[in-house]
Amino acid sequence: MNPVKTGLLGLGTVGGGTVNVLTRNAQEIARRAGRGIVVTHASARDLEKPRICDIGNIRLTTDPMEVVNDPDIAIVVELIGGDTLAFDLVMQAIANGKHVVTANKALIAKNGNEIFAAAQRQGVMVAFEAAVAGGIPIIKAIREGLAGNRIEWLAGIINGTGNFILTEMRDKGRDFADVLKEAQQLGYAEADPTFDVEGIDAAHKLTILAAIAFGIPLQFDKVYTEGISAITGGDVSYAEQLGYRIKHLGIARQTERGVELRVHPTLIPERRLIANVDGVMNAVLVQADAVGPTLYYGAGAGADPTASAVVADLVDVVRALTSDPENRVPHLAFQPDALADLPILPMEQVETACYLRMRAADRPGVLAEVTRILGDQGISIEAMLQKEPPTEEEGATIIMLTQKVVEKNMNRAIEQIQSLDPILSNVTRIRMESLG
């Protein structure tokens, strides 16, 4: 059989890695797919730029639409990022009857419902394993490997930049701004790190994971998102003293009232495996009713790890080229007409335990007043630390761990505590999850 001709949109780190993996493992890939897979056409913004791959016989162009409209191309691989031009290119590829592979989490999270509907009408596949957690095959694991289970919840470290920062803060006692600067120098963080450190990147990925876990439409605009820029070295140290580690988690949970979708810094018991995932590595913990907890760990970014996922999708598409579209694995795991319109819970209705940190004047009765306010909101204290102040003006640092509480009650309590005269700072709140 002739090889399947593939076109690449974008020939940067992941595009170059994809060419390298396809070339290096060509024989193994052909044995698995039943046919060879070759890149014959690719687009890049700068044709003279040095590449990490051997261009060989690949025809290059600066016009990505030229690749999309190439009649010889059967599969288009979109690696340019963003959700504007990429959306137009993917929709045109689908209209042309071409299958699509993408590593673009923003595109899928924000436009996936429309893209999958178009692909369904055209009888083509859109594969997106590389859009979440780089080389970890988490999409396939949830969509296929756990197909016999009811997914109860999942929690993931799905942004390597944030995990690197929190790991350095913990291991070396460095502050957030210092580690962020190093992350930028190492290429882990962009010049504008907002997407990484404020949780937007993780929210894109969580949107996708929740859709395939619970059989719901993609709903990025309903994800609660909170970043890690306010986490201090003191918070990291206090958490350690209490037996916890701080991780920037994406959490999706199906409850009787609806689905929780949230990204925020989270205290996790240090004994949990996921609490010990360090540096730029990613991990996703999935709790399912039949199999119980399963943990998926690996490189969340990089040329070869992400290319591994892209090529796996290419193999899946090639295997399915001659199959009946009605018998293919559904894009979002559940049959398109069986997606459930479950409500997404607003954050104020979510119930979590909390870590609270505040500075208070070191005088009698302050702690009693704080605990009274918490008690009035039905909030029980699990543990507490009090650090004596270096100077009387700075006040004592009080750290409390609470039992589970509905978010709106905690918001009300924090507002009342901050209004007390002896409280010398805003109250820092970090949510806690046992993940048991």
Whether 392 shows a pLDDT value over 70: the answer reads no
- Spell out a b/e string for 205-218, using b for 16 or more CB atoms within 10 Å of the CB, else e: bbbbbbbbbbbbeb
Q: Name the pairing type of β-strands 99-102 and 126-127.
A: parallel
The token pair at 311 is 């090529």
Judgement on whether residues 227 and 253 belong to the same structural domain of the protein? yes
Alpha-helical runs (H) found in 285-343: 303-320
Place of tokens 């630390």: 385
Among 15-19, 39-43, 103-107, 332-336, the range scoring the smallest mean pLDDT is: 332-336
| Closest C-alpha to 131, from 335, 282, 288, 323 | 282
Judgement on whether residues 36 and 185 belong to the same structural domain of the protein? no
What does the chain come to in residues? Answer: 436
**Amino acid 304: pLDDT:** 95
| Strand extents, DSSP E, 10-83 | 37-43, 59-61, 75-78
Phi, psi of 399 (to 5 degrees): -120, 130
Cα–Cα distance, 232 to 359 (Å, whole number): 14
The token pair at 399 is 């750290």
| Assigned domain for 345 exists | no
DSSP string, 82-112: SSSHHHHHHHHHHHTT-EEEE--HHHHHHHH
Residue 388: give the domain boundaries: 350-432
Residue 103: pLDDT band with limits 50, 70, 90: very high
State how far Cα 82 lies from the chain centre: 16
| Assigned domain for 344 exists | no
| Closest C-alpha to 309, from 41, 164, 50, 128 | 128
**Amino acid 262: pLDDT:** 98
> What is the rounded average pLDDT of the residues 234-260?
97
Among 65-69, 328-332, 370-374, 419-423, the range scoring the smallest mean pLDDT is: 328-332
205 a catalytic residue? yes
Q: Average per-residue pLDDT in the chain?
A: 95
CB 17 within 8 A of CB 307: yes
State how far Cα 97 lies from the chain centre: 30
> What is the rounded average pLDDT of the residues 29-58?
95
| Assigned domain for 343 exists | no
| Residue 286, strand partner residues | 154, 294
Q: Which helix (H) or strand (E) holds 359?
A: strand 351-360
Give the end of a domain, one of 284, 312, 337. 337
Cα–Cα distance, 175 to 336 (Å, whole number): 47
Judgement on whether residues 192 and 295 belong to the same structural domain of the protein? yes
Output the CA torsion sign for 105, 319, 214, 293.
negative
Residue 389: pLDDT band with limits 50, 70, 90: confident
Residue type, 427: V
Judgement on whether residues 295 and 161 belong to the same structural domain of the protein? yes
CB 378 within 8 A of CB 413: no
**Amino acid 403: pLDDT:** 97
State how far Cα 300 lies from the chain centre: 9
Q: Name the pairing type of β-strands 75-78 and 428-432.
A: unpaired
Residue type, 132: V
> For position 377, which CATH number holds?
3.30.70.260
> For position 272, which CATH number holds?
3.30.360.10
Judgement on whether residues 290 and 322 belong to the same structural domain of the protein? no
**Amino acid 325: pLDDT:** 79
pLDDT > 70: what percent of the chain? 100
**Amino acid 257: pLDDT:** 94
The token pair at 403 is 């039992």
Judgement on whether residues 144 and 266 belong to the same structural domain of the protein? yes
Cα–Cα distance, 412 to 401 (Å, whole number): 17
CB 384 within 8 A of CB 368: no
pLDDT digits (tens, 9 = 90+) for 108-131: 999 999 999 999 999 999 999 999
Residue 324: pLDDT band with limits 50, 70, 90: confident
Question: Three-state DSSP class for 33?
Answer: helix
Judgement on whether residues 190 and 222 belong to the same structural domain of the protein? yes
| Assigned domain for 95 exists | yes
Question: Three-state DSSP class for 8?
Answer: strand
Residue type, 248: H
The total domain count for the chain is 3
The token pair at 13 is 């780190």
Judgement on whether residues 270 and 153 belong to the same structural domain of the protein? yes
* Burial class (CB within 10 angstroms; exposed 0-12, middle 13-18, buried 19+) of 96: middle
Number of CB atoms found within 10 A of residue 335's CB:
10
| Assigned domain for 157 exists | yes
Judgement on whether residues 40 and 161 belong to the same structural domain of the protein? no
| Assigned domain for 254 exists | yes
> Which listed residue (98, 105, 140, 205) is catalytic?
205
> What is the rounded average pLDDT of the residues 213-219?
97
Alpha-helical runs (H) found in 143-295: 160-172, 176-185, 194-197, 200-214, 233-241
**Amino acid 47: pLDDT:** 94
Judgement on whether residues 318 and 291 belong to the same structural domain of the protein? no
Judgement on whether residues 196 and 293 belong to the same structural domain of the protein? yes
> For position 76, which CATH number holds?
3.40.50.720
Judgement on whether residues 90 and 230 belong to the same structural domain of the protein? no
Place of tokens 């396939």: 140
Q: Name the pairing type of β-strands 59-61 and 75-78.
A: unpaired
Number of CB atoms found within 10 A of residue 282's CB:
26
| Assigned domain for 93 exists | yes
| Assigned domain for 214 exists | yes
